[in-house]
Amino acid sequence: MSLFGSKFYDFYTHPDDVGLMATEGKRYGYSGITVIGNCANEKTLFPEDFSIHRGIEIQAKPSRIREEIKKYRGCDHILIINGGEEEINRAAVETEGVDILMHPLEFNNVLAKAASDNSVSIGFNLGSLIRLKGVARVRELKTMRINLKHAQKYKLQLILTSDAHSIYDLRAPREMVAISSLFGMTEKEAVDALSVTPLNILRKKSPDYIQEGIEII
């Protein structure tokens, strides 16, 4: 079980109480979370060795998305786009600077190729699998299976997130790996999606990073 020795990150959470979420996250075995929306004030106590990053979720009309991305891509927040129709996915994938495209519907090989050119990671939202039941979950699994197929073909970076609104939505890394096996992800891919891809994104956001392949050491 040496696969589980690395650091794990959850990159898509909307907690009401960031302090509580951080304490629980640390107990579950995470090294950091990304908070979307209101971040904590300075009074909140955070556990040691636990990093909290800020993320921005862009929601706009398909025609406005490119401008929104350009507005935010200079800052050190993590840029997340909630995928949906093809137009939104296309705008997200073809513009440089986007980090994660969450749960795209109608994903195809053209979009996958563009994503691999601009190094955009594809996010799988396991929170929906936990919350939904019956036919809705079947539909969700089908979308994920298609996305995974394209991602494997073009060697895209995958990322697994929990979309937790409270501590009851959070799941430990091993549980996340087990859930991801429902739509055909292998154990190695799932562990990489929880540790290697987030670390890559954080490396890109660090001030020492200049361009792909150029870095201040």
Q: Enumerate binding residues for other proteins (CB under 8 A).
A: 28, 129-131, 133-134, 166-172, 174-179, 181-182
Cβ 83 vs Cβ 105: under 8 Å: yes
Instruction: Classify 106 in phi/psi space as left (phi over 0), alpha (psi -120 to 50) or beta.
Output: left
Cβ 48 vs Cβ 31: under 8 Å: no
Identity of the residue, 190 or 201, whose beta carbon is nearer to other proteins in the bound complex? 190
Q: How far is the CB of 168 from other proteins (least distance, A)?
A: 4
Distance CA 158, CA 74 (A): 23
Identity of the residue, 130 or 202, whose beta carbon is nearer to other proteins in the bound complex? 130
Distance CA 61, CA 57 (A): 13
Identity of the residue, 86 or 169, whose beta carbon is nearer to other proteins in the bound complex? 169
Identity of the residue, 43 or 133, whose beta carbon is nearer to other proteins in the bound complex? 133
Q: How far is the CB of 130 from other proteins (least distance, A)?
A: 5
Q: How far is the CB of 164 from other proteins (least distance, A)?
A: 10
Q: How far is the CB of 154 from other proteins (least distance, A)?
A: 27
E strand residue ranges, 59-128: 78-82, 100-102, 121-125
Of 27, 34, 8, the residue nearest 191 (C-alpha) = 8
